């Protein structure tokens, strides 16, 4: 079970983690939550229902990692089947973002918080680690958080689909990106085994 998720009765998943792995996962999740930002609290006296319908931002984030987490809904005007020009696509994306980004941020925030809480609830096995057991709901939150962590780190590393894995495996130990690359690859392995446990 070490280093990989395995299915457990009831539809959940379990993985053995040592203290260092727990610390790394928690630290990365906290950094992700800081990047996403806190939830907006309704102003005093404001109707909470009205706050749910508050429009979000209309422009994409300036930070490349946030832009990857919250991409434009409408892409390349030169793409197949696109009959819109660049200005139209920008307008459509802006309008779509206004009504969806807040909800997407909330969901990503919930995933990150769930990851941190499940790690904080772990009790040590006495060998410097613990066995993390996730419910089916926890698994969904973990999948979302692991995906967001990989997207964020991959953006910081400027990973593209073409160089996925190959060049990253060959970085010398002296390269300052090496620890981030190791975290990126490890998170990918965790995500892959978690997906496998959830497949029928």
H-helix or E-strand spanning residue 95: helix 86-120
H or E segment and range at residue 8:
strand 6-8
Domain-embedded: residue 56: no
The answer to the question of residue 20 being in a domain is yes
SS3 14: strand
Tell whether 72 is covered by a domain: no
pLDDT in tens, 135-161: 999 999 999 999 999 999 999 998 876
Cα separation of the two ends of the chain: 19
Mean pLDDT along residues 39-52? 61
Residue 128 lies in a domain: yes
**Residue 192, domain extent:** 6-42+102-198
Q: Are the beta carbons of 115 and 67 closer than 8 angstroms?
A: no
The answer to the question of residue 62 being in a domain is: no
Residue 147 forms part of a structural domain: yes
Rg (CA), the chain: 19
- Greater model confidence, 36 or 173: 36
Q: Where are the beta strands (DSSP E) in 48-190?
A: 129-134
Let me know if residue 88 belongs to a domain: no
- Closest to 121 (Cα-Cα) out of 110, 109, 133: 133
What are the tens digits of pLDDT across the range 70-100?
888 876 544 444 555 778 887 888 888 888 8
- C-alpha separations of 56 from 32, 87, 99, 104, 170 in Å: 20, 20, 6, 10, 42
pLDDT at residue 35 tops 60 = yes
pLDDT at 100: 83
* Residue at 170 is within a domain: yes
pLDDT of residue 38: 86
User: What does pTM read for this prediction?
Assistant: 0.83
Give 104-128 pLDDT, tens digit per residue: 999 999 999 999 999 999 876 556 6
- Provide the number of structural domains found in the chain: 1
Q: What percent of the chain has pLDDT over 90?
A: 48
User: In this structure, what are the phi and psi dihedrals at residue 85, rounded to the nearest 5 degrees?
Assistant: -90, 175
- Band the pLDDT of 195: cuts 50, 70, 90: very high
Question: Is pLDDT of 54 > 70?
Answer: no
Q: Report the pLDDT value the prediction gives residue 147, as an integer from 0 to 100.
A: 97
Nearest 5°: CA angle at 162, between 80 and 155?
Answer: 90
Residue 80: the pLDDT is 45
Model pLDDT, residue 77 = 45
């Amino acid at each position: 079970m070490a280093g990989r998720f395995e299915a457990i009765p009831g539809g959940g998943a379990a993985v053995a983690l040592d203290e260092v792995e727990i610390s790394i996962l928690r630290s990365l999740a906290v950094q992700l939550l800081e990047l996403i930002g806190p939830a907006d609290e309704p102003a005093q006296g404001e109707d909470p229902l009205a706050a749910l319908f508050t429009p979000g931002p209309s422009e994409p984030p300036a930070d490349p990692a946030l832009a990857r987490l919250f991409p434009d809904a409408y892409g390349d005007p030169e793409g197949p089947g696109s009959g819109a020009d660049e200005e139209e696509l920008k307008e459509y994306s802006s309008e779509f973002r206004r009504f969806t980004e807040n909800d997407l941020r909330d969901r990503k925030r919930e995933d990150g918080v769930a990851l941190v809480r499940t790690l904080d609830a772990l009790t040590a096995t006495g060998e410097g680690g613990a066995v993390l057991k996730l419910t089916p709901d926890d698994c969904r939150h973990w999948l979302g958080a692991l995906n967001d962590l990989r997207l964020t780190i991959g953006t910081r590393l400027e990973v593209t689909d073409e160089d996925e894995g190959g060049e990253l495996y060959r970085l010398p130990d002296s390269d300052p990106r090496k620890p981030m690359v190791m975290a990126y690859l490890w998170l990918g392995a965790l995500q892959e085994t978690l997906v496998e446990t959830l497949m029928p």
